[in-house]
Structure 1
């Protein structure tokens, strides 16, 4: 990569593979636009993921000729891999990328990055599917795009409108929390990044764009669609609800075992055994959900979260204790398996309430927005 003396406010990555025919035209056009129109300091990075044509020669020549243009060479293919490498090496406050064909009207770039630099949003995407977008493309690609995004909305409960538009930007501080957990190195990289951002409560800003389909696109639609669907399935299995249910099942089994040991083996009585068993598993449940379900690490707000977890525990205790008291009101000396069954059912009934409380109260992200990024 060519040497740049200071970090810009915005760094735009153009991932390429065998783009000798279009690379120079793209970079020069983008360079002219940024010079004339973008009121922030910027840099263009050509991220070449293992091209075997003249792309490397052209990219290095452009980096040597044009100010604020850099070239990065990767030994392996993969758009996600190229973005990960370029973004990880960047010192910019906002990192972005766009496809080399420049299908998206460049006038959307300022509306894309401005909300991130101001601190209004964490992630910004161009969208071809929102009101106000103007798109020129064939019916086949239109159907594929809308079908894919419909799958994301249905299966992963995505709230962003267009995951595949090659026109995105991320605040560097937000990216640092997301990138380590993005596993894909190919075309699904974008979708995974957006899904993780949504799950973690980051604000995603959408910019309707003017977009013209590139008729020379060499993307293998079949293999890409297959990889994307496998990625969707992986994210579904790794969703907060699935993780919460797994933690809940483990907690319920641990609770049942402790209750049997305490009430039967140690003869503490059903009420006291319930308090001890539920209290023990509640602490472990809060810790597991904090780290695994909601992806929160570090000590920030840990005391508050555990304190509020205790309140949720008290509510759960009230539900299970109430169920136990009701059972004893019906039968003064119920069989052990009946007591356990009632408590397990009551605990499962409280699961939905517990999840809502953890998500919307205990582990909710701070309401205040990040501090706006300012000039150095």
Structure 2
């Protein structure tokens, strides 16, 4: 009897072919994938401009010991319209707090992600008003994506704790205090060497949001949540995408040296890495308002994120990406 007419033989051949394809894919992915991210930092991106003296000053490194209490990282891609409102609210809060508590020193790092509009000029005006010790502008030469912008800001920060906050100002900035309360439960404020993360969450607003969304967008949202749970983040975390996350310096140092994804799904990889490394995570409800001007296009962006979620799971599963170590040798300059 020919193998082509024997069901058991055909089943064996099919299984062998699938196994061979899987091995070939594994070899190909391993061959073209680096275990650690190749973090490229152009020479001009190593400096910020003091708008008063017009001089260029070098950014510090996340490898250094902290010098201030809090760094706020604001990724901004063509945000000349929405950025002022966010900075006004954030800086009013931070200034009032620093006046009441002289030990509370802060900085805001606005990371322009290759913006072609006046984002840099808008941010520099705040740097001039508040001084470059409090507001610094990191102007990326090329667009990296939100995750890449947040990473570069984190690697340039001085704080014991580091917050990244979206430039649209959708989250009420004073809710930082809610995150800090939970952070103190995980680690004392001075223990910046203890890795921990507290994330803002909009999950409590989900029913209200669903009521105002179309059925199609609601299906997309639930589909994305399912993929996040299936491929990456579990442990009861309900909102991975809220742009209001607080990290200790140690957590930022570990995670942003390991992070590969630089676009919208970077939050998911960040939390996946944290869970894999047993870094404590707490989720806190925050006040959130939808702001017009979002850069997200519902179908295309969510398709990209879905592909990224699968790749995060696949590459870590086969060991193409490394979650056990990191170092400084992977940084390149141009």
TM bracket, shorter-chain basis: 0.5 to 0.7
C-alpha deviation, 1:157, in angstroms: 4.9
Say which of 324, 329, 332 aligns to 1:295: 324
* Residue aligned with 2:159, SS: coil
Q: Which residue of 1 aligns with 2:301?
A: 224
Pairing 1:62–2:91 present: no
* Structure 2 length-normalised TM: 0.66
CA distance in 2: counterparts of 1:295 and 1:96, whole angstroms: 24
CA distance in 2: counterparts of 1:171 and 1:144, whole angstroms: 33
Is the Cα–Cα contact under 8 Å of residues 77 and 112 in structure 2 kept in the other structure? yes
Pairing 1:88–2:155 present: yes
CA distance in 2: counterparts of 1:220 and 1:90, whole angstroms: 31
- After superposition, the Cα gap between the structure-2 partners of 1:65 and 1:116, relative to the gap in structure 1 and judged at 3 Å, is same
Pairing 1:185–2:252 present: no
- After superposition, the Cα gap between the structure-2 partners of 1:119 and 1:158, relative to the gap in structure 1 and judged at 3 Å, is closer
- After superposition, the Cα gap between the structure-2 partners of 1:66 and 1:117, relative to the gap in structure 1 and judged at 3 Å, is farther
CA distance in 2: counterparts of 1:52 and 1:107, whole angstroms: 30
Is the Cα–Cα contact under 8 Å of residues 135 and 211 in structure 1 kept in the other structure? no
Pairing 1:75–2:160 present: no
Say which of 44, 48, 51 aligns to 2:115: 51
Higher helix share: 1
Question: Superposition RMSD on alpha carbons, in Å?
Answer: 3.0
Q: Which residue of 1 aligns with 2:70?
A: 10
- How big is each residue's C-alpha offset from its partner over 1:223-269, in whole Å with a ceiling of 9 and x where there is no partner? 321221121111221345x55xx9xxxxxxxxxxxxxxxxxxxxxxx
Q: How does 1:1-376 map to 2 (within 5 A)?
A: 1=48, 2=50, 7-37=67-97, 40-67=104-131, 68-77=134-143, 78-116=145-183, 119-120=186-187, 122-130=196-204, 138-140=212-214, 143-159=219-235, 160-239=237-316, 295=324
Is the Cα–Cα contact under 8 Å of residues 83 and 169 in structure 2 kept in the other structure? no
Structure 1: which 5+ residue stretches go unaligned?
247-290, 299-376
- After superposition, the Cα gap between the structure-2 partners of 1:114 and 1:217, relative to the gap in structure 1 and judged at 3 Å, is same
- How big is each residue's C-alpha offset from its partner over 1:84-105, in whole Å with a ceiling of 9 and x where there is no partner? 1110011211111111111112
* Residue aligned with 2:74, SS: strand
Is the Cα–Cα contact under 8 Å of residues 133 and 209 in structure 1 kept in the other structure? no
CA distance in 2: counterparts of 1:211 and 1:153, whole angstroms: 23
* Residue aligned with 2:311, SS: helix
C-alpha deviation, 1:165, in angstroms: 0.7
Is the Cα–Cα contact under 8 Å of residues 134 and 211 in structure 1 kept in the other structure? no
C-alpha deviation, 1:210, in angstroms: 1.7
Structure 2: which 5+ residue stretches go unaligned?
1-47, 51-56, 61-65, 188-194, 328-334
CA distance in 2: counterparts of 1:44 and 1:297, whole angstroms: 26
* Paired residues, number: 249
CA distance in 2: counterparts of 1:102 and 1:136, whole angstroms: 18
Q: Which residue of 2 aligns with 1:275?
A: none
- How big is each residue's C-alpha offset from its partner over 1:51-106, in whole Å with a ceiling of 9 and x where there is no partner? 11111111111111124111110011111111111100112111111111111122
CA distance in 1: counterparts of 2:177 and 2:201, whole angstroms: 14
* Structure 1 length-normalised TM: 0.59
Is the Cα–Cα contact under 8 Å of residues 233 and 271 in structure 2 kept in the other structure? no
- After superposition, the Cα gap between the structure-2 partners of 1:7 and 1:223, relative to the gap in structure 1 and judged at 3 Å, is farther
CA distance in 1: counterparts of 2:160 and 2:221, whole angstroms: 31
- After superposition, the Cα gap between the structure-2 partners of 1:109 and 1:146, relative to the gap in structure 1 and judged at 3 Å, is farther
* Residue aligned with 1:13, SS: strand
C-alpha deviation, 1:41, in angstroms: 2.2
- After superposition, the Cα gap between the structure-2 partners of 1:134 and 1:173, relative to the gap in structure 1 and judged at 3 Å, is farther
CA distance in 2: counterparts of 1:10 and 1:158, whole angstroms: 28
CA distance in 1: counterparts of 2:233 and 2:112, whole angstroms: 34
